[in-house]
Amino acid sequence: MAKKINASAKIPTSVVTGAAGFLGSHLTDMLLARGHKVIGMDNFVTGAVANIAHLGGNKNFRFVEQDVTEFIFLDAPVNYVWHFASPASPVDYLELPIQTLKVGSLGTHKALGLAKEKGARFLLASTSEIYGDPLVHPQPEEYWGNVNTIGPRGCYDEAKRFAEALTMAYHREHGVATRIVRIFNTYGPRMRLNDGRVVPAFITQALKNQPVTVFGKGQQTRSFCYVSDLIEGIYRLMMSDCRQPVNIGNPTELTMLEFAREIIRATGSRSKVVFKPLPQDDPKQRRPVIARAKKELGWAPRVPLAEGLKSTIAYFRTKV
Distance CA 65, CA 68 (A): 9
Q: How confident is the model at residue 227 (pLDDT cuts 50, 70, 90)?
A: very high
The tens digit of pLDDT for each residue in 55-82 reads: 999 999 999 999 999 999 999 999 999 9
The tens digit of pLDDT for each residue in 198-221 reads: 999 999 999 999 999 999 999 998
The tens digit of pLDDT for each residue in 22-31 reads: 999 999 999 9
For residue 4, what pLDDT is reported? Answer: 46
The tens digit of pLDDT for each residue in 105-115 reads: 999 999 999 99
Among the listed residues 93, 131, 156, 187, the single catalytic one is 156
pLDDT higher than threshold 80 for residue 9: no
Element (H, E) at 227: helix 227-239
Distance CA 211, CA 214 (A): 9
Distance CA 186, CA 25 (A): 14
Mean pLDDT of the chain: 94
The beta-strand segments (E) located in the chain are 13-17, 37-42, 61-65, 80-83, 121-127, 178-183, 186-187, 212-215, 221-223, 225-226, 246-248, 253-255, 273-276
The tens digit of pLDDT for each residue in 265-279 reads: 999 999 999 999 987
Measured in degrees and rounded to the nearest 5, phi and psi for residue 278 equal: -70, 130
**156 belongs to the catalytic site:** yes
Of the chain, the percentage scoring pLDDT greater than 70 comes to 97
Domains of the chain and CATH, by start: 13-186+225-249+288-302 (3.40.50.720)
- State the DSSP string of 112-124: HHHHHHHT-EEEE
Q: Which residues pair with 180 in a beta bridge?
A: 124
- Selection from 28, 30, 54, 31 nearest residue 42 by Cα: 28
Residue 58 makes CB contacts below 8 A (sequence gap 6+) with 32
CA 231 to chain CA mean position, Å: 9
pLDDT higher than threshold 80 for residue 181: yes
- Selection from 296, 184, 300, 174 nearest residue 244 by Cα: 296
Cβ(78)–Cβ(9) below 8 Å: no
Cβ(246)–Cβ(183) below 8 Å: no
| Section 296-304 average pLDDT | 98
pLDDT higher than threshold 60 for residue 5: no
